[in-house]
Structure 1
């Protein structure tokens, strides 16, 4: 027995818009790729901070010897589609830790890496802000996140959203970002993943 047309049509009218809405949501990049995951740590594709909008360039996991140390994500100001980690472009690097690390270890590693990668003149130029930053590090436990950001005017270091250090120096900002994203980074594979080269 056929269904009366006046009963059938309202159901179709209800079903079709719902189906179209679901298809639209499934095809939306915000649903498909609103975040990425690295070893269980999630990083958003787009971040807004202080009126600026940052877009994820790449993410990855840093391994040291047999240890999976931390996951990271690198962002640049929206519209800056080419990686420019050592320029004056607004950018941010977020690191999520898998192991406990003491503040003194951060300070020691930061200073050693910069001494190894910068010329003596370059290191002397950033030695004072580096000494201040090294005093502001804190211990981390698994799940903690450090954020290093440059908004075009100020370098900022934050732990779990709490700002620990600020400095108005583009040179120091580039030096700090070079630790992970420079020509001689802590890990080339990690750098390339952050820059979206993998």
Structure 2
């Protein structure tokens, strides 16, 4: 049974109203974010425009404010090095994906969709399966306003943070595992094509202006009507 099937209609309305009244959410306290006044606004969520990852400087390259039907699910930003094209996200390059959630999502739903989508992308080798089991153990339930950040550097492991706090890392210098894990969001069988395609669309470059909030060109996106799946809530 999917998360949407378990939620009562009145609860969904309450979530939407609560989000409308909440206003802008603050940037998560992530030590990897640069201390700068330059930020990106995606929906009602504020993201750092740049971040550091093991010596590499990553900048916001793509964003999405994702809805399922009319219900907001999440906002997200893809970070890559300035010279790396969005389409190269599945290459062995430093990258980070930060996702701000607008709904409650159980850790069990993250675990199920991670394993299912890696399998659908044809990347579930025995070695990857063992590492996925380790990574899945790191997931926690999230509430509206919580943020997950997934990071990978070719010289290090894949790591995951919840609201800026490190939960753990898996697969040191394992490009195969990193590719499999990021396929959940960017693979041929990604959790949702709209989410993936928005992030692969480059953010308009903006000259630095201290104190300015950069508004994403990616507006609210609504999925085409279809039967929801548990994987729809991975984003």
TM-score by length of 1: 0.75
Whether 1:173 aligns to 2:185 is no
Whether the aligned pair in 2 keeps the contact of 1:62 and 1:187 (CA below 8 Å) is no
* RMSD value, Cα: 2.0
State the partner residue of 1:130. 132
State the partner residue of 2:143. 141
Whether 1:194 aligns to 2:196 is no
**Structure 1 residues 134 and 80: CA distance shift in structure 2, 3 A:** same
Quote how far apart the aligned CAs of 1:135 are: 1.1
TM-score by length of 2: 0.64
Residues 56-135 of structure 1: pairs in structure 2 closer than 5 A: 56-119=60-123, 122-135=124-137
* Deviation by residue 1:16-49 (Cα, 9 ceiling, x = unmatched): xxxxxxxxxxxxxx98xx3222220112222123
Find the partner of 1:184 among 184, 189, 205.
189
Whether the aligned pair in 2 keeps the contact of 1:147 and 1:158 (CA below 8 Å) is yes
State the partner residue of 2:17. none
Q: Which has the higher helix share?
A: 1
Q: Which segments of 5 or more consecutive residues in structure 1 lack a partner in the other structure?
A: 1-29
Q: Which segments of 5 or more consecutive residues in structure 2 lack a partner in the other structure?
A: 1-35, 203-217, 219-235
Question: How far apart in 1 are the matches of 2:68 and 2:126?
Answer: 28
Quote how far apart the aligned CAs of 1:140 are: 0.7
Aligned residues: 165
Residues 17-28 of structure 1: pairs in structure 2 closer than 5 A: none
Question: How far apart in 1 are the matches of 2:190 and 2:67?
Answer: 13
